[in-house]
């Protein structure tokens, strides 16, 4: 009898599913359908906030696909992901509590319907961004490949996502690297309202597989066993190291795109026609016909699911709501002892990688060797790669080419192509690979050739990397670094010369660092790699050749701590990166006039050192803030506002002055390029006027 149900009608291929697993699949299909129907009811009762996207009708895809996995395999999910979560084994009590926005929800009420996640079960989370999980799966697959073994990842996505750039970037990258990822399109015939027939030029989404040199398969997504069999083939292919497969599962959603969908784009007759092929009774009847279970046993499974859902509602209703005083919990992964005393307590990763005696801010004796900033960054990466196999470098042309500015010179030859990983030109997939691999236990250091090009990866950085920890209720950490060569002065013109740090500072969940010396370049980069959050490492292109003393052994410079580069009593000047160098030159010039500037190098823009700034302003009574980015919206505005709201405001003897870039794209003309950002003479003039209160 089992053989009868375990044989595909077309391929005559036997399944390896026991009667117990088949009955569990039927139970989970019932559980998913009832969860969705109950979620709809709870929304109608006003108990569910916002919106939700229900997968009723698509149960065969989630349950059939995940039945082909082992418990230690991974998945990435979609905004219509309740079925994926249930199939992977998530607890429906905490899922229901999440829908009801309760503290005991699977994501502590921070994620809601679109962001169910349980990393302990290998569920890397549902995603509110169409195609958002596809680049993450590249990172997850890369982590699995780098760690060895034969685990795989299923990446679920909808037909609409197949038209996103992330789809192409990610599947191409996964195919090039033969990553163990199964790309499973839940083709429910519509993106939001646009049908797949109108949205796609290809007749079949699986036909796109040929462009990437990978297998493509189209399967009846209303047939759980057909889905299982197709995914099982893809899993075997991936476990053997042969790379990804693209599967197009033809299915249908019974509800609208979301709760507010009026469904004007499809007819009732169309919906009813698909309901005649409902996957749950079809699967149930096949099991009964094969003698796997009786009709009474099948009915008992449905009753069991009903009871579980009723219990989940009762449990969820009794749970507490999140407390407002915990609003900002888990935006960042925090090591409490380090946060309390960062200049004396080592981050856990540093202690593990380099030992408990690793120095923090070590002094440089007079005979300390000198390195350029490029060499200091390279040494930090080399020491991190040597110390921890989880660390790897990733980016365009960072291998034999050494990166656009030569910073990774020699590392490809030393550590090989797996750990110094050249990529296709695919910024969003690069960032997604960093996010997905870091969530999966790695510590990537990515390089974006020019800071300008982070704009091409902002979806994965801002909507994924920065938010995952919080959306998932603190269950995930995202220890990744993105190196961002920034700024003007190289004649590269408008699209290769931007300073976008203020964009990044405005994103909760990201940290932003900008060194100005070789010493800080090494120490801050090691501290950034040690940090368990996404750290944006802004590198001035003009400083790569700057030289300075750098200790040979590993050390760190704590994030969030400024340095006073020059003491003075007349004007406090706050700057970062290349502007620190220019401010110091301006300070030397003004000293000849008897004007002494106190120069503060922020080093970290987020978090930044309020105390050092406040203390300095209280001593000098004057403040000048200098940055290369355009004045309007630049980070200097944050410093000014902070001082205006601090005790230092009462000590001010003159208005605060800001000096920033002009409101203009960086021009090609050397004369105009120089005029577009603050130069030494501009700083001298502004500081002189401020010191003499001539403003």
Looking at the annotation, which residues are catalytic?
Answer: 496
Measured CA to CA, the distance from residue 90 to residue 84 in angstroms comes to: 9
Reading the block at residue 25, the tokens are 């699949």
Place of tokens 């291998």: 399
Measured CA to CA, the distance from residue 166 to residue 419 in angstroms comes to: 23
Measured CA to CA, the distance from residue 633 to residue 640 in angstroms comes to: 12
Bridge pairing between strands 216-220 and 370-372: unpaired
Measured CA to CA, the distance from residue 196 to residue 204 in angstroms comes to: 9
Q: Hey, is 404 helix, strand or coil?
A: coil
Comparing CA positions, the residue from 153, 164, 170, 166 lying closest to residue 119 is 153
Measured CA to CA, the distance from residue 415 to residue 389 in angstroms comes to: 10
CA dihedral for 392, 395, 400, 406, sign (positive or negative): negative
Please, which residues have CB within 8 angstroms of residue 398's CB and are 6 or more apart in sequence? 408, 411, 412, 420, 421, 422, 447
Reading the block at residue 637, the tokens are 């505005």
Measured CA to CA, the distance from residue 616 to residue 627 in angstroms comes to: 18
Comparing CA positions, the residue from 582, 572, 661 lying closest to residue 624 is 572
Measured CA to CA, the distance from residue 437 to residue 548 in angstroms comes to: 34
Measured CA to CA, the distance from residue 37 to residue 375 in angstroms comes to: 60
Reading the block at residue 502, the tokens are 């203020």
Rounded to 5 degrees, what are φ and ψ at 167? -60, -50
Please, which residues have CB within 8 angstroms of residue 537's CB and are 6 or more apart in sequence? 481, 482, 483, 484, 513, 524, 525, 528
């Amino acid at each position: 009898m089992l053989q009868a149900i375990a044989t595909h009608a077309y391929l005559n291929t036997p399944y390896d599913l026991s009667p117990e697993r088949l009955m569990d699949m039927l139970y989970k299909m019932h559980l998913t359908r009832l969860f969705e129907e109950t979620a709809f009811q709870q929304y109608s009762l006003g108990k569910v906030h916002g919106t939700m996207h229900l997968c009723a009708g698509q149960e065969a895809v989630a349950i059939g696909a995940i039945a082909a996995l082992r418990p230690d395999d991974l998945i990435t999910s979609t905004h219509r992901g309740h079925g994926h979560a249930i199939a992977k084994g998530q607890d429906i009590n905490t899922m229901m509590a999440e829908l009801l926005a309760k503290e005991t929800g699977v994501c502590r009420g921070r994620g809601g319907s679109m962001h169910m996640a349980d990393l302990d079960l290998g569920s890397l989370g549902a995603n509110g961004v169409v195609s958002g999980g596809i680049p993450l799966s590249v990172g997850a697959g890369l982590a699995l490949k780098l760690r060895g073994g034969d685990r795989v990842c299923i990446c679920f996505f909808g037909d609409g996502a197949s038209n996103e750039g992330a789809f192409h970037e990610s599947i191409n990258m996964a195919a090039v690297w033969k990553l163990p990822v199964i790309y499973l399109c839940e083709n429910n015939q519509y993106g939001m309202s646009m049908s797949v027939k109108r949205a796609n030029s290809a007749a079949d989404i699986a036909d796109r597989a040929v462009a990437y040199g990978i297998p493509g398969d189209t399967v009846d997504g209303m047939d759980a066993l057909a889905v299982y069999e197709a995914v099982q083939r893809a899993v075997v292919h991936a476990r053997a190291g042969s790379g990804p497969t693209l599967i197009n599962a033809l299915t249908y959603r019974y509800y609208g795109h979301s709760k507010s969908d009026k469904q004007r784009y499809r007819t009732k007759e169309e919906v009813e026609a698909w309901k005649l092929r409902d996957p749950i009774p079809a699967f149930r009847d096949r099991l009964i016909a094969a003698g796997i279970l009786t009709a009474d046993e099948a009915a008992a499974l449905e009753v069991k699911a009903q009871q579980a859902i009723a219990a989940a509602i009762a449990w969820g209703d009794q749970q507490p709501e999140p407390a407002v005083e915990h609003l900002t919990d888990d935006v960042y992964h925090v090591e409490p002892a380090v946060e309390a005393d960062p200049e004396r307590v080592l981050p856990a990763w540093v202690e593990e990688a380099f030992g408990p005696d690793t120095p923090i801010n070590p002094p440089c004796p007079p005979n300390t060797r000198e390195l350029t900033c490029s060499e200091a960054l390279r040494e930090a990466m080399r020491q991190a790669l040597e110390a921890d196999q989880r660390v790897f470098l990733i980016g365009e042309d960072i291998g034999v080419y050494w990166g656009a500015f030569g910073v990774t010179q020699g590392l490809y030859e030393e550590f090989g192509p797996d750990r110094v990983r050249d990529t296709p030109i695919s910024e969003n997939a690069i960032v997604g690979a960093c996010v997905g691999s870091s969530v999966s236990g790695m510590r990537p250091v990515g390089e974006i050739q020019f800071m300008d090009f982070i704009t091409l990866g902002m979806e994965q950085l801002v909507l994924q990397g920065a938010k995952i920890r919080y959306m998932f209720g603190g269950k995930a950490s995202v220890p990744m670094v993105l190196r961002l060569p920034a700024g003007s002065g190289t004649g590269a013109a408008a699209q290769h010369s931007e300073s976008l740090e203020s964009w990044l500072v405005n994103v909760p969940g990201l940290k932003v660092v900008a060194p100005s010396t070789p010493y800080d370049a090494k120490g801050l980069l090691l501290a950034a790699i040690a940090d368990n959050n996404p750290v944006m490492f802004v590198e001035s292109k003009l400083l790569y050749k700057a030289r300075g003393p750098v200790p040979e052994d590993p050390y760190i410079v704590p994030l969030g701590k400024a340095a006073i580069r020059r003491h003075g009593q007349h004007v406090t000047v706050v700057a970062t990166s290349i502007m620190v160098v220019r401010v110091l030159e301006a300070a030397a010039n003004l000293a000849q006039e008897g004007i002494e500037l106190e120069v503060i190098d922020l080093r970290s823009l987020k978090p930044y050192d309020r105390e050092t700034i406040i203390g300095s302003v209280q001593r000098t009574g004057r403040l000048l803030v200098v940055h290369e980015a355009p004045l309007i919206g630049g980070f200097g505005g944050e410093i000014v506002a902070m001082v205006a709201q601090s005790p230092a405001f009462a000590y001010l003897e003159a208005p605060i002055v800001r000096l920033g870039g002009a409101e203009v794209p960086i021009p090609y003309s050397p004369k105009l390029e120089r005029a577009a950002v603050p130069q030494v003479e501009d700083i001298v003039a502004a500081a002189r006027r401020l010191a003499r209160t001539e403003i």
